[in-house]
Amino acid sequence: MPPKRVIGTISLAGCFGCHMSILDIDLKFLELIELVEFNRSPLTDIKTFTKHCDIGIIEGGCCNDENVHTLISFRKNCDILVSLGECAIMGGLPALRNKIDLYDCLKEAYLNVPSSVPGNQMIPHHPDLPKILDRIYPCHEIVKIDHFIPGCPPCDEIIWKSLTNLITGKSETIPYPFLKYD
């Protein structure tokens, strides 16, 4: 049996739906475990790399400097990098704020809300908080991405086919009916 491929996954600015779709492969997940070893991943609760990864899977785009730093580090630790889902590929729903000035967005979120207390309104800022970027960036605008798995979220079958193709070195087109955007 060939050695297991090492896979890492991260979730940036997204909803975690793509990771849920990975779990939706159900019993095929047992087959996947025969082919791969998971390293840094919220699926395993391993928060740092313990070894270099063959394949890195990214969910979500970049909305703050911490996301950018995490993505750059992830690129350095993975041979093949995969953008999983629309947030990683195009910014997804979080990118809706890209048409709004950042200050106007923060003002609306923190100052112009019914729950704000008059005289005690402020936009949170602290050195420990990640710096919010001017817009949401898809992953390929920050680092080189090798493969894209579209969908919102991608269905389990697309993820299964794409991962097994990457692991085994096959090249196969994803049939159009499997592309979905819920």
Query: How confident is the model over 8-36, as pLDDT tens digits?
Result: 999 999 899 999 999 888 888 888 888 89
Chain position carrying tokens 């050695």: 3
Choose between 2 and 143: higher pLDDT: 143
Query: What is the structure's pLDDT at 79?
Result: 97
Residues 43/77, Cβ–Cβ less than 8 Å: no
pLDDT of residue 180: 61
Domain 5-95+134-178 has CATH 3.40.50.700: yes
Q: Under a CB-based contact definition with an 8 Å cutoff, are residues 37 and 85 in contact?
A: no
Using CA atoms, how far apart are residues 33 and 7, in angstroms rounded to an integer? 10
The pLDDT > 70 percentage for the chain reads 95
Higher model confidence: residue 64 or residue 45? Answer: 64
In angstroms, the CA 72 to CA 126 distance is 23
